[in-house]
Amino acid sequence: MSGHLAVIGLGPGDPRYLTPEAQEALITAQALYGYGPYLDRVPACVGQSRHASDNREEGARADAALRHAASGARVAVVSGGDPGVFAMAAVVCERIKMGPESWRALDVAFVPGITAMLAVAARIGAPFGHDFCALSLSDNLKPWELVERRLDAAAGAGFVIALYNPVSRARPWQFGNAVERLRRHLPETTPVIFGRAVGRPDEHVSVTTLAEAGATSADMATLIIVGTRETRMIARTGRSPLVYTPRAAAEVSA
């Protein structure tokens, strides 16, 4: 008997972002595993068990889901956004790599979702209109020196930068340090976008400059987009400004 494990992206939270593929994978699962607040977004299904766990228990959550699937069940792990972007897909792969042979025999599917950086970008215009990168500011799983090296490389070469996991209670200084680092490469006027909870009642998306970004409040659920030298704003009377990065770059500008 070979079980089935789906690793599902819920998107930013509003059901309008949930793809039909993800919807079907949720409905057909016999058991759901996930961080509590993500599971709370999924309507109840008769006969489906739910297994909530804490944000920091990702490895144990993946193990439990894999064991359950290996027993022959149809199991789903839910992620916010896209499961492949700083979320559960890599955790599940790591555990399959380390785990028993039976886990490699499982039918495993990854179901993509709208990741936070693209949801926030869509609210404001087209900040990722040119080459871009995504970087987690958490130094739980990599040394801070590597984060700094990547900030230097990305800003120096003119990539738009998406910052995931900018701040947490245990990591209060990292975001301010990153802003200081970026100011070595980019003008003070560079647009910086702060977005959280897109599509949910507490949605908040705002634009500031690199000079002001360090003083702007952020938390673990905030997604930050730092523009390039080319990123521009369009002021609009009676409407929020648009922010975009032109497709063309005439020269090595950063």
Give residues 176-235 in contact with a copy of itself (rule: CB under 8 A).
232, 234-235
197 Rama class: left (phi>0) / alpha (psi -120 to 50) / beta: left
CA angle, corner 173, sides to 167 and 178, nearest 5?
80
CA atoms of 144 and 156, how far apart (whole Å): 18
Query: According to CB under 8 A, which one of 28, 49, 60, 105 is a site residue for a copy of itself?
Result: 105
Q: Which residue among 26, 121, 182, 218 contacts a copy of itself (CB under 8 A)?
A: 121
Per CB under 8 A, which region of 26-34, 46-54, 144-152, 207-215 contacts a copy of itself? Answer: 144-152
Cα 216 to the center of its chain, rounded Å: 20
Which listed residue (156, 188, 189, 200) binds a copy of itself by CB under 8 A? 156
- Closer residue to a copy of itself, CB minimum distance, 194 or 244: 244
> Interaction with a copy of itself in 45-84: which residues (CB under 8 A)?
82-84
Q: CA-to-CA distance for 113 and 82, rounded, in angstroms?
A: 4
Across-strand partners of 219? none
Residue 131 or 203: the one with the smaller Cβ distance to a copy of itself is 131
Beta carbons of 205 and 124 less than 8 angstroms apart: yes
State the minimum distance, in angstroms, from the CB of residue 16 to a copy of itself: 4
Q: Is 170 in the site for a copy of itself (CB under 8 A)?
A: no
**Applying CB under 8 A, which of residues 91, 205, 210, 218 lies at the interface with a copy of itself?**
91
- Minimum Å distance from CB 192 to a copy of itself? 17
Residue 250 as a binder of a copy of itself (CB under 8 A): the answer is: yes
For the chain, counts of helices (H) and of strands (E)? 9, 13
* Dihedral (CA of 63, 75, 134, 211) sign: negative
Handedness of CA 53, 54, 55, 56 (dihedral sign): negative
Size of the site for a copy of itself (CB under 8 A): 81
* Residue 20 contacts a copy of itself per CB under 8 A: yes
Candidates 37, 100, 187, 246; binder of a copy of itself (CB under 8 A) is 246
Judged by CB under 8 A, the residue of 73, 133, 211, 220 near a copy of itself is 133
Partners of 52 in the β-ladder:
34
Instruction: Rule CB under 8 A: say whether 169 interacts with a copy of itself.
Output: no
CA-based max dimension of the chain: 63
